[in-house]
Amino acid sequence: MNKKYFLALASYNIWANNIAVEWLEQINEEQWNQVIISSFSSIRETGIHIASAEKIWIDFWKNAPDPVYLSTEFEGSKNDLIEIWRIASTGLKNFIETYPEENYLQQITFRYPKGGEGQMKFWQTFSHIINHSTYHRGQLVTILRQIGFTKFSSIDLATFYRLT
């Protein structure tokens, strides 16, 4: 649990998200919105969930007064979401670069989308968001396969470490 390790995870997250985004750029609007049985009802909704979570944790870390859950109000296009997702993904790394390592034990207060608050140490929240994004990118693979998409490459952490 140190800055170097967290920066490596943030770099991995950017790398994996960029590959996932490349997959999404290859599907059409019908596939993007197609109803599929999964944790979320479509590729669109899964993408919104990942981007929203990455963005909201940055808001929590910065103690933003009115953090916005994209998942509750996003109405934009696939390209709009991809841009937000890329900014949030890079934002995670940018935050780690400037966040003092001595604050990793600091409690972070967060709000649940349906109300209520919780607290975790900063290092736990950062670990959570990396794991969360990895989990849902895995779901993207499954639902992309259901619509016939097969142009995948490995996006696991071991592949990232081998390639970098």
Per the CB < 8 A criterion, the answer to whether 51 and 72 are in contact is no
Q: Which region, left, alpha or beta, applies to residue 123 given φ > 0 means left and ψ of -120 to 50 means alpha?
A: alpha
Does 136 show up as a binding residue in the annotation? yes
Inter-CA distances, 48 with 5, 44, 54, 143, Å: 27, 6, 10, 14
Does 128 show up as a binding residue in the annotation? no
Q: And the tokens for 68?
A: 């916005």
Q: And the tokens for 114?
A: 């349906």
| Count, residues in the chain | 164
With vertex at residue 92, the alpha carbon angle to CA 72 and CA 157, rounded to the nearest 5 degrees, is: 105
Known binding residues: 49, 132, 136
Binding residues for a divalent metal cation: 49, 132, 136
